[in-house]
Copies of this chain bind each other. A is one copy, B any other.
Amino acid sequence: MAYFDAASAAPLHPVARQALLASLDEGWADPARLYREGRRARLLLDAAREAAAEAVGCRADELVFTPSGTRAVHSGVAGALAGRRRVGRHLIVSAVEHSSVLHAAEELERDGGTVTRVPVDRAGAVDAGVFAAALGDGTALACLQSANHEVGTEQPVTEAAEACRAAGVPLLVDAAQSLGWGKVPGGWSLLTASAHKWGGPSGVGLLVVRKGVRFAPQGAADERESGRAPGFENLPAIVAAAASLRAVRAEAAQEAARLRELTERIRARVPGLVPDVEVVGDPVRRLPGIVTFSCLYVDGEALLHELDRAGFSVSSGSSCTSSTLTPSHVLKAMGVLTEGNVRVSLPPGTPGEDVERFLEVLPGAVAAVRERLGAPAAAESAPETGADLVVDTLGRRCPIPVIELAKVIGDVPVGGTVRVLSDDEAARLDIPAWCEMRGQEYVGEEPAERGTAFLVRRSG
């Protein structure tokens, strides 16, 4: 058994477990009360806040605990927007933010505001200049993650913060994926994080609002957590979150180097072990523990199940693994292949042998899925036959359209075209991505009688 999905939720750190148990006995009372149990709870809460603030690099009175990272983002975005409502109602986000940021942005749009989604390059990073160029007179807030949760790519937060500062616009940094590894540098104004991403318990998020940042909490409130996070504090979990953040930080430098070496092995060796693979995300400016790749002609859900049977828990941004049957917005924004997508995110402490075993198992798992789907063999080359071809994949889902395209591309002469009819959302992303990987020319798409026709010209 190897759990390789730390970017979703990390298993509880031993220090978190210990702190949680201890504070179940000491920290269940209401910290607002005057009697001994309440005073003890208040001391624990204050100490946890101090510890978390120190790890973030902020003042204790700038930090509140929320019930989750998602709630921290929702409250942080809404409060910052409301605080600068008079300035304007324009929000900037990167196209690859966590869904909680994007949901908050959609909420603003429903309410009449406007949102700029800054595109990313093929590695998943925004260009700091493009980000800065989006800042305008009516911009109330900008949001940029410290590092991406699906591909690990780090964002140019320091440069973005400088541009925001120059424009007088607050920058909210979603540090959910990186806070366990270190402080977020630079002059950000708001910061959010989630304890269960660093090995703390679920039920705890952090919202930091720097002194001087205009902030107007939205929705019903109470007197707890500076009026920014209503409801009885989940104290045992808060104590465990703060204690485990200190603990993972103490181990961070050493563990980062170790995990980086392990993910580098996967990055380097998967393309040799598995034919037709695209490794995505920035190879250098990235988180230590995340590596993501997509396998042509593979159904992501089927591959996840193959790997699960072999004892590996990973996640996927492929459309077939999503409840909405749309591919990951991150892979989509990057313009990379979305089919057969696998994200490996190693929890601290992952032994090297587990990674080696994964590399042993992966080729067979991919091959098994491809065989079931009737995918073309790698570098298969059929004799050249007719002229232009039409392939009807209507009603069939990812990765079938790409598989059918690959099967027939050799049947048209160089310069000839294949017209793929498809009504699958993923085809729009994966056919161009396949062309790029295969050196074929993607001509474009046009509406068909049913679905969409995707045109590919054979280049070689």
Contact = CB atoms under 8 A, between A and B. Distances in A.
A149 to B, nearest CB: 12
A305 to B, nearest CB: 7
A302 to B, nearest CB: 11
Contacts of A221: 103
Contacts of A305: 34
B222 A100 contact: yes
Interface stretch (A66-74, A135-143, A178-186): A66-74
Interface in A25-41: 28-30, 32-38
Contacts of A233: 202
A380 interface: no
Nearest to A70: B231
Nearest to A104: B220
A17 interface: yes
A8 B36 CA distance: 14
A66 to B, nearest CB: 8
Nearest to A101: B220
A interface, size bucket:
35 or more
Interface stretch (A56-64, A307-315, A328-336): A307-315
Contacts of A55: none
A3 interface: yes
Interface in A1-15: 1, 3, 5, 8-9, 11-12
A28 B5 contact: no
A24 interface: yes
Contacts of A8: 29-30, 33
Interface string A209-253: 000000000111111000000111111110000000000000000
Interface in A193-208: 194, 196, 201-203, 205
A323 interface: yes
A67 B70 contact: no
A1 to B, nearest CB: 8
B100 A69 contact: no
A319 interface: no
B74 A232 contact: no
A234 B67 contact: yes
A99 to B, nearest CB: 6
Given A219-B219, A220-B78, A36 B308 contact: yes
When all copies of this chain in the complex are counted, the total is 2
A314 B236 contact: no
A252 to B, nearest CB: 20
A20 interface: yes
A304 interface: yes
A314 B239 CA distance: 25
A202 B3 contact: no
Nearest to A308: B35
A441 to B, nearest CB: 36
Interface string A75-89: 001100000000000
A212 B313 CA distance: 39
A21 interface: yes
B202 A234 contact: yes
A177 interface: no
B202 A313 contact: no
A107 B219 contact: yes
Contacts of A148: none
A174 interface: no
B230 A70 contact: yes
A384 interface: no
Given A220-B106, A313-B35, A313-B37, A29 B9 contact: yes
The 5 residue pairs across chains A and B that have the minimum distance between CB atoms:
A67-B67, A68-B231, A203-B234, A35-B313, A70-B231
Given A5-B37, A34-B321, A107-B220, 10 more contacts: A3-B37, A9-B29, A21-B21, A28-B201, A28-B202, A68-B232, A73-B220, A74-B220, A103-B222, A107-B219
Interface of A: 1, 3, 5, 8-9, 11-12, 17, 20-21, 24, 28-30, 32-38, 67-71, 73-74, 77-78, 99-100, 103-104, 106-107, 194, 196, 201-203, 205, 218-223, 230-237, 301, 304-305, 307-308, 312-315, 321, 323-324
